Amino acid sequence: MELSKLAEQIPPSGIRAFFDLVLGMKDVISLGVGEPDFVTPWNVREAAIYSLEEGYTSYTSNKGMFELRQDISRFLKHRHGLEYDPENEILVTVGVSEAFDLALRALINPRDMVLIPEPSYVSYGSLVMLCGGTPVSIRTLPANGFKISGREINAHSGKRPKALILNDPNNPTGAAYRKEELKDIAKAVEKHNLIMISDEIYSELTYDFDHTPFPCLPRMKERTIYLNGFSKSYAMTGWRIGYACGPKKIMDLMTKIHQYTIMCAPITAQMAAREALKNGERSVQEMRREYRRRREFVIAGLNDIGLSCHKPEGAFYAFPSIRRTGLSSLDFSRQLLKKEKVAVVPGTAFGPAGEGHIRISYASSLDNLKEAISRMKRFLRGKCSSN
Amino acid sequence: MNEILEILEKDARATPEDIAKMLKMTPQAVKKEIKRREKEGIILKYKTILNKELIHEEQGGVRALIEVRVTPKKDLGFDYLAERIYQFPEVTSCYLISGTYDLLVVVEGKNLHTVASFVAEKLSPMENVRGTSTHFILKKYKEDGDILRQPKKDKRQAISL
């Protein structure tokens, strides 16, 4: 039986076997979780329950309920001074995952090149390939805080790329961009006439400075697809609700694909999202403060035990180097799991540029973090004496 | 609120070393700040929250909310009477409140009888107490921000990207 060559061609998520190992083990302290450890704030859950009681169980407009698009529009204006027309420039999607896929499908023709800074979120490259495009990775380095600048874009412009994907703040490295750094990137984006796909799902989790959405930069709005959602900021991962904003022409195409594949995002999740935007600010602030404390705790702990770690400025990940152990990321993660029952994600899950690093999620209780770090300390002692 | 206080209010056992790491301070500075707050009386003491409903050996005891209407004392207002009431060890909380009555007194006793006799023999006969109304607590769900049951298990997948 011949199946889709394109689908067969995309790399399997390389660390599936490692994941299965983790999932099959009991009493593991997991620092491998890519979602908040908070549950969705009660007011949001309650609003969803109420909407069900009231009988909101139908389809909505393809683009998402107009009221929700209006709320999103107001929120972006109020929070960032970013203006999108709820009628034509906002599309409510099933998480940023769907929005991201739609953006690529609306943009990419076979053999189009797409620049992806690496380490990157796993699905970017594969989804580009599914659209027939070619991902071109830009390797980022710990010395630069795992960030790209205009220079790297210029260096990769020879292949005439069509688009750039930026994840700010970044999963897995926690890198977040300051306005000045974004301006530098914007210059190169304009120079090479790139379309920007800006995945800003972690934007509310920026700890050292105010987050600047990429489309806020001069002349960038017309060439940016802005992606955001509710998963990380309001602890709503399981609701699968996000949105895309961008120029009408692109949003029309994305909406066309969306209405064939999804129809509309689930109405219950849309109702919950409305409440999150309306009354969620307090919960967001509390979570942000809590994450920030844990970040300091984890970074100090990792550096104490000799795993050097740049300071992540956003998201809830630390991405320390494990090179001094002489182990590959995968071997380190496997051995740590077997010996000390601590789960982390090998850096290579996020592309070859992640080799020599592990991703540690601090979306976990302080007690867990503390215990995990002391186990890692013991693990490292064993490693160093055997070396 | 000061972040050290915020952390301690949630977890009285957080060590100065851990707090120092979280707030990028030295443990010495954290200790000093805690000492200062203790001296100022802002930090009063460190307690453990018990879910007494689960203590079977000695039937947990009973609690009652008692609304007390009083006549305030000249020059001393409500404070004088409140103090006379809250000194009783049976009283676990005492508030001055607005509305149809004046003091809300929470009383804990071994059983219904002890609470009833406290009200009849100690509280009601007090000079300036004009009347009381006693409500026994049947079940406690949440107290001072803490839900009285085991925290639910983490429902997340142990690993995800």
DSSP per residue, chain B: --HHHHHHHH-TT--HHHHHHHHT--HHHHHHHHHHHHHHTSS--------GGG-TTTT--EEEEEEEEEPPBTTTBTHHHHHHHHTSTTEEEEEE-SSSSSEEEEEEESSHHHHHHIIIIIITTSTTEEEEEEEE-----EETTEESSPPPPP-S-SB--
What pLDDT does A6 receive? 86
Sign of the CA dihedral with B83 first, then B87, B93, and B99 last? negative
A5-40+282-381 homologous superfamily = Aspartate Aminotransferase, domain 1 (3.90.1150.10)
* Nearest chain B residue (CA) to A25: B158
Domain ranges across chain A:
5-40+282-381, 42-279
Answer whether A17 touches B (CB < 8 Å).
no
Q: Does residue B125 belong to any structural domain of this protein? A: yes
Q: Does residue B149 belong to any structural domain of this protein? A: no
Considering only CB atoms, A34 lies closest to which of B18, B21, B160, namely: B160
**Rg for chain B (alpha carbons), in Å?**
21
Q: Three-class SS string for B68-104? A: EEECCECCCECHHHHHHHHCCCCEEEEEECCCCCCEE
What pLDDT does A289 receive? 94
Query: pLDDT digits over A268-310, tens only?
Result: 999 999 999 999 999 999 999 999 999 999 999 999 999 999 9
The total number of structural domains that make up chain B: 2
For residue B156, pLDDT over 70 is answered with yes
> Quick one: how far is CA A346 from the chain centroid?
17
Contact A293 B7 (CB under 8 A): yes
Contact B158 A366 (CB under 8 A): no
Q: Are residues B33 and B56 in the same domain?
A: no
Contact A343 B159 (CB under 8 A): yes
What pLDDT does B115 receive? 94
What pLDDT does B33 receive? 96
Q: Are residues B88 and B134 in the same domain?
A: yes
Query: pLDDT digits over A29-43, tens only?
Result: 999 999 999 999 999
Contact A349 B160 (CB under 8 A): no
Q: Does domain A42-279 have CATH number 3.40.640.10?
A: yes
What pLDDT does B73 receive? 79
For residue B66, pLDDT over 70 is answered with yes
Q: Does residue B45 belong to any structural domain of this protein? A: no
Q: Are residues B134 and B103 in the same domain?
A: yes
Q: Are residues B104 and B69 in the same domain?
A: yes
What pLDDT does A374 receive? 97
What pLDDT does A13 receive? 63
Tally of CA atoms within 13 A in the half-sphere of A354 that contains its CB:
29
Q: Is B48 exposed, middle or buried (0-12, 13-18, 19+ CB in 10 A)?
A: exposed
Average pLDDT score over residue span B16-44 = 96
Average pLDDT score over residue span A325-352 = 96
Q: Are residues B13 and B90 in the same domain?
A: no
What is the predicted ipTM?
Answer: 0.82
Q: Are residues B34 and B71 in the same domain?
A: no
Q: Please state which of the ranges A174-178, A246-250, B9-13 shows the lowest mean pLDDT.
A: B9-13
Q: Does residue B58 belong to any structural domain of this protein? A: yes
Contact A349 B161 (CB under 8 A): yes
What pLDDT does B77 receive? 87
Q: Look at B73 and A71; give whichever has higher pLDDT.
A: A71
What pLDDT does A382 receive? 83
Q: What angle do CA A139, A211, A300 make, to 5 degrees?
A: 70
Distance CA A312, CA B76 (A): 57
Residue type, B35: K
Q: Does residue B153 belong to any structural domain of this protein? A: no
Q: Are residues B16 and B73 in the same domain?
A: no
Q: Does residue B76 belong to any structural domain of this protein? A: yes
Contact B22 A122 (CB under 8 A): no
Kindly report the nearest CA distance between residue A248 and chain B, in angstroms.
Answer: 31
- Measured CB to CB, residues of chain B less than 8 Å from chain A are 3, 7, 11, 14, 18, 21-24, 154, 156-161
The boundaries of the domain holding residue B86 are: 52-139
What pLDDT does A387 receive? 45
Tally of CA atoms within 13 A in the half-sphere of A330 that contains its CB:
12
Chain B residues closer than 8 Å to A13 by CB: 161
Tokens 């139908």 sit on residue: A58
Average pLDDT score over residue span A195-207 = 98
Q: Are residues B83 and B124 in the same domain?
A: yes
Q: Does residue B156 belong to any structural domain of this protein? A: no
Query: pLDDT digits over A72-122, tens only?
Result: 999 999 999 999 999 999 999 999 999 999 999 999 999 999 999 999 998
Q: Does residue B78 belong to any structural domain of this protein? A: yes
We report the CATH number of the domain holding residue B124 as: 3.30.70.920
How many Å from the N-terminal Cα to the C-terminal Cα in chain B? Answer: 35
pTM: 0.92
What pLDDT does A173 receive? 98
Mean pLDDT, chain A, rounded, equals 95
